Amino acid sequence: YAPWCPACQQLEATWESFAKESQGLGVTVAKVDVTQEPGLSGRFFVTTLPTIYHANDGVFRRYRGPRTLEDLQGYILERKWEAVEPVAGWKSPSSIMMHGMAGLFHFSGWIRHIHNYLTGTLGVHVWISYAIFIVATLLVGLLLGL
């Protein structure tokens, strides 16, 4: 979820109720703020918010059903998750590819942080910051090419 997301805000009360009843269902319910954990949004290939995953014994399934408390409970109690196809091995959050994707998300956050430092703290003009990143990209490419 993200705090600014209207759909996430709409689901929040239901999700909190589901979390309170989770111990009786034998599951652990959590939420992750993708603005604070960008690597996880890359690792889980989050393209829409909110995104719900069910994980059991290292097997991940994306929940795409209705988002009422009754439906979420039924998904667990009636074991509806067994009928949902697991996330493909290469797209699994534990795969090497998704570890790499998480790294790219962390890297993009690092670049954004440097850009904000250059423009906000040092007062460098935005276009000069862009030029610095362009030159750095070209230099890294040349070094890797050599």
Sign of CA dihedral 12, 17, 20, 22: negative
CATH number at residue 69: 3.40.30.10
Structural domains in the chain (count): 2
pTM of the model: 0.64
Average pLDDT over every residue of 91-112: 76
Both tokens of 90, joined, read: 């290469």
Same domain, 126 and 81: no
Q: What's the whole-number mean pLDDT along residues 65-79?
A: 92
Average pLDDT, the chain: 87
Looking at the structure, tell me whether residues 86 and 34 fall in a common domain.
Answer: yes
Q: Hunting for tokens 């790499």 — which residue is that?
A: 100
Which residue bears the tokens 């697991």? Answer: 86
Model pLDDT for residues 4-49, shown as the tens digit of each residue: 999 999 999 999 999 998 888 889 999 989 888 877 777 777 888 9
Q: Are residues 51 and 115 in the same domain?
A: no
Same domain? For 72 and 22 the reply is yes
List residues bridging with 2 in a β-sheet: none
Q: Is 98 a catalytic residue?
A: no
Of residues 1, 4, 7, 8, which has the active-site annotation? 8
What is d(CA 26, CA 95) in angstroms, rounded to the nearest whole number? Answer: 26
Give domain status of residue 1, yes or no.
Answer: no
Q: Which one of the listed residues 1, 2, 4, 5 is annotated catalytic?
A: 5
Which residue is associated with the tokens 């290292």?
58
Q: Over 80: is that where the pLDDT of 53 sits? A: yes
55 is catalytic: no
